[in-house]
C-alpha cells in the first residue's frame, strides 16, 4: 500500500494538539495591523484557536501522519 502524501498547504496552517484537535491561527492578521486595530484587538489575534468541529475530519485527512 503506498504512503499518503501530507497536504503541503495544510501542514503550514494547522497542527494537532495532544488530544488530536486541529489548532489554527487567527484570521485578520494579514496587513494593517499597525493602523486601524487597537491594542486589545491585536492581543486577541496573537493567540491560536481550535478549528471548528465541522472541519475536523477534513483537516485530519489532509494531515495523515500527525
Q: In 3-state terms, what secondary structure has residue 25?
A: strand
pLDDT of residue 1: 85
Confidence of residue 52 (pLDDT cuts 50, 70, 90): very high
Count the helix, strand and coil residues of the chain and give each as a percent rounded to the nearest 5.
Answer: 35, 15, 50
Q: Which domains does the chain have, with CATH numbers?
A: 8-62 (4.10.410.60)
Residue 32 reports pLDDT greater than 90: no
Amino acid at each position: 500500500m503506498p504512503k499518503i502524501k501530507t497536504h503541503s498547504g495544510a501542514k503550514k496552517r494547522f497542527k494537532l494538539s495532544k488530544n488530536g484537535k486541529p489548532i489554527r491561527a487567527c484570521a485578520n492578521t494579514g496587513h494593517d495591523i499597525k493602523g486601524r486595530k487597537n491594542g486589545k484587538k491585536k492581543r486577541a489575534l496573537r493567540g491560536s484557536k481550535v478549528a471548528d468541529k465541522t472541519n475536523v475530519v477534513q483537516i485530519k485527512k489532509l494531515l495523515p501522519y500527525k
